[in-house]
Structure 1
């Protein structure tokens, strides 16, 4: 029988709104968080390693503990590591994720990322593993991808095929870079949400790095972005209501309440403490009518858990998550938080970005999202070339970073982290197109060369 957590039940709808309100922070307390996933592979066979065994994901997690990471267990398995506000977590197909601590500058993020990559390379080199930063697993099928032992993933794997054709690919074969940023008020959140949501496809195009599936070109520059178009329409997409009058914490809460649940976590329950509530309603939960836990009311941790199961291009929690970029090399892990900090953390840049996108229609937003996955920086939207919009976006971000004036060693500001993105935008050629050029040229149609040239 499931054990109930000792936590106060939610007594009113206002508590759901208060959860988002509690994320409001004065500007001086704003921080930046970066997350990135990477594919682990066997250096000899290029295969994705299983969890168990001397050369598996568990061995990686155990090896990293020498650097002061504390293990988190579920049903006796190490599923995550914690240190100084950061975590290393286990994604469904063994993708290795660093969720960084909230830090003051992009310099700090790049240092944190560098330290993490050095640590994982040190451990991986001892057990014959490597790491690759791209957006979609380039060689292996779903069935060839090992599944990690985590309770919530069992529930998701059963539910995903009921609501979309590519949900299992999302879980097992995608990899991403994300950036998390704060807001000061509801009004500040609204403007940041609208700007970042409108421009998320521009980030998708700039970071597009997933043109291969099972060893062949897949017809997309960002197969990862395309996967999200057929994962689960209830919890993904561009959220057109964000651009409507009246949007705010309340409207987002209503959206979240309408998204079917995955699970409820209760310590002591089987399956790692995860109780299957897939397809059930949080609204019913608030009434004590959840079939999975009849008569029980949710607490605020249940609400927080539910919010993590929403996957729009920008996600609201106690901060805003930017979710539109493919996985990539170290330099682009640093570039993504620089891009969004430059736009969202400088008021002049934020307003300039809004001026650029505020006339776009909902159709424009959806069209640009699909275009970014398929053709990257090519094409037109709202009467302008996508490449031109990308360059204007980067210029807005660069000016914002200049005004932020956060210096490393008292000398260098954060604008340098945008250099690679400027090269991409100025050329109009995405990282994926460079990979395709190599595939059709020096690689001779053999994607395995990717693992040598683009591994960390």
Structure 2
């Protein structure tokens, strides 16, 4: 979303103009980069829990909570982070100097997100991730809090979750219950990891989007990490993925339009113009226009809250951030189908998609794999994997079989990239956790369930010490 003062105020004149905005993301292959974003739940350790409050619940914005973490990060690294404010409240940090291109932001219940800067290799992603966690450790120790990357909060109820002072989220909290039963859970009780990847052209974008969108349910199964609901197993391996099946389906999921043979930038714009709006920004303030039509606004039709206002390119850029498809198109592609997980699994998620999409031969192999089944099969699979995970049936076998082929292709793609670290290893070793899973090992969710029924004695709060970064 645009920060106050950053908006492009150029008036919108046509769909072609909007498509050209997306086309500006096209880059030659040697300029392709990797941007990893990961979220994690905060929790208050028992020794720091205020009287009258249960331990392990998320910290508030303040006192001694999320605001304090943001402030300490900014103060500890001098001019490396600039503050982002909403009505005077500190709601994030924008990277400068060594962190230029990165940002730290807050999800609606204080889930803490690093949006990494665009990097050339997964080795750099590893270094960035380690640096972020290491910078949090002394702050967390002083405040008595921690952070754990999990797909769905394992025991908190909606009412247990704090809220953050972001105007956009207040609008969403009001609107979400009108368009789905689980939107507030998405906002308050989920965490994800995603990787942002580049494309060379409109044709390359469309091919990568179709391949990655079709295979996103397989990633959901591989990275399932949310088997608990309000303290107990509820028969799902990814509660986060289940939540997305009834959040706001007009802006989510796997739209049929994306699989059309001639899909491209203009087709995406046409789809997005019919996604209901959330907000616009004027004079540095966010205004609620939830449910209004961007297309009607462009066509000059009068709508409440938009009277006398001309839609701008900045408005459209903000509107793009309110599409929640499993793969989202901006001036790059965002892979959005995975639960947040351990640092090794979050790196593996980035490695999986880099291996599949950034080598020509691997992309061709992944494209051929996807075309073995109709797109409707992948849409059906999306509904099955939250419960069945890799055990979901697929083409006479199971999704684990499909996942193995997918990971093998990605491995070949990473070998072909030949990006080596100081020890001479290429990026393929970041896929080791996925090879273990596709060979029959447990997913993160299955490992947590084993612990719950075994060494934890059915005490789900034990997950925080073990999952903490």
TM-score (norm 2): 0.94
Q: How many angstroms apart in 1 are the aligned matches of 2:436 and 2:30?
A: 32
- Residue 71 of structure 1: SS of its match in structure 2? strand
Q: Could you say if the C-alpha distance between residues 450 and 6 of structure 1 is closer, same or farther in structure 2, counting changes exceeding 3 Å? A: closer
Is the aligned partner of 1:49 residue 2:83? no
For 1:134 and 1:143, locate their aligned partners in 2 and report how far apart those are by CA, in whole Å: 19
- Answer whether contact 2:206 2:263 (CA < 8 A) is retained: yes
1:35 is aligned to 2:37: yes
Is residue 363 of structure 2 the alignment partner of residue 350 of structure 1?
Answer: yes
Question: Is the counterpart of residue 229 in structure 1 residue 245 in structure 2?
Answer: yes
Equivalent residue for 1:411, pick from 415, 424, 438: 424
CA distance in structure 1 between the aligned counterparts of 2:412 and 2:300, rounded to whole angstroms: 51
* Cα 1:288–1:296 shift into 2, 3 Å: farther
The match for 1:78 among 90, 100, 107 is 90
- Answer yes or no: is the 8 Å Cα contact 1:181–1:320 preserved in 2: yes
Gaps of at least 5 residues in structure 2 are: 47-54
User: What residue is the counterpart of 2:154 in the other structure?
Assistant: 138
CA distance in 2, matches of 1:213, 1:4: 40
1-structure distance, mates of 2:288, 2:253: 24
TM-score if structure 1 supplies the norm length? 0.96
Q: 1:164 aligns with which of 164, 170, 180?
A: 180
Please give the per-residue CA displacement for 1:28-75, whole angstroms capped at 9, x wherever unaligned. Answer: 11001000000000011111111010x211000001111232211111
Q: Give the number of aligned pairs.
A: 450
Shift of 1:295: 2.2
| Distance apart, 1:388 and its partner CA | 0.9
2:306 aligns to what? 293
Listed as ranges, the matches of 1:116-265 within 5 Å are 116-265=132-281
Q: Deviations over 1:184-215 (max 9, x none)?
A: 00110011001101111111111100001110
Tell me, in whole angstroms, the C-alpha distance in 1 between the residues paired with 2:181 and 2:224: 21
Check whether the contact 2:212–2:327 (CA below 8 A) recurs between aligned residues: yes
Partner of 2:329: 316
SS in 2 for 1:427: coil
Q: Secondary structure at the match of 1:315?
A: strand
Whole-angstrom CA distance in 2 between matches of 1:139 and 1:283: 41
Bigger mean CA offset, 169-178 vs 385-394: 385-394
Aligned-pair Cα RMSD in Å: 1.5
The answer on whether the counterparts of 1:364 and 1:382 sit within 8 Å (CA) in structure 2 is: no
Structure 2 contact 84–93 (Cα < 8 Å) conserved: yes
Q: Secondary structure at the match of 2:118?
A: coil
CA offsets 1:307-343 (integer angstroms, 9 cap, x no match): 1000010000000000000011111121111110100
- CA shift for structure 1 position 103: 0.4
Q: Which residue of 2 aligns with 1:339?
A: 352
Deviates more, 1:429-438 or 1:343-352: 429-438
Runs of 4+ aligned residues of structure 1 deviating over 3 Å after TM superposition are 2-6
Superposition map of 1:258-407 within 5 A: 258-268=274-284, 273-289=285-301, 290-407=303-420
How far does residue 81 in structure 1 lie from its aligned partner after superposition?
Answer: 0.6
**Contact (CA 8 Å) 1:170, 1:231: kept in 2 or not?**
yes
- Residue equivalent to 1:19: 21
Unaligned ranges ≥5, structure 1: none
Give 1:15 shift: 0.9
| Contact 2:182–2:243 (Cα < 8 Å) also in 1 | yes
TM-superposed CA distance for 1:4, in Å, is: 12
Partner residue, 1:430: 443
**Could you list the per-position Cα deviations for residues 371-404 of structure 1 after superposition, in whole angstroms to 9, with x for gaps in the alignment?**
2211111032233421111111000000000000
Evaluate the alpha carbon distance shift between residue 223 and residue 3 of structure 1 in structure 2; reply closer, same or farther with a 3 A threshold: closer
Question: Compared with structure 1, are the counterparts of its residues 357 and 384 closer, same or farther at alpha carbon in structure 2 (3 Å cutoff)?
Answer: farther
**Alignment partners' CA distance in 2, 1:275 and 1:59:** 28
Aligned partners of 1:287 and 1:297 also within 8 Å: no
Q: Which moved more, 1:59-68 or 1:227-236?
A: 59-68
Change (3 A) 1:56 1:31: same
Distance 2:101 2:273 in 1: 29
Contact 1:348 1:400 in 2 (8 A): yes
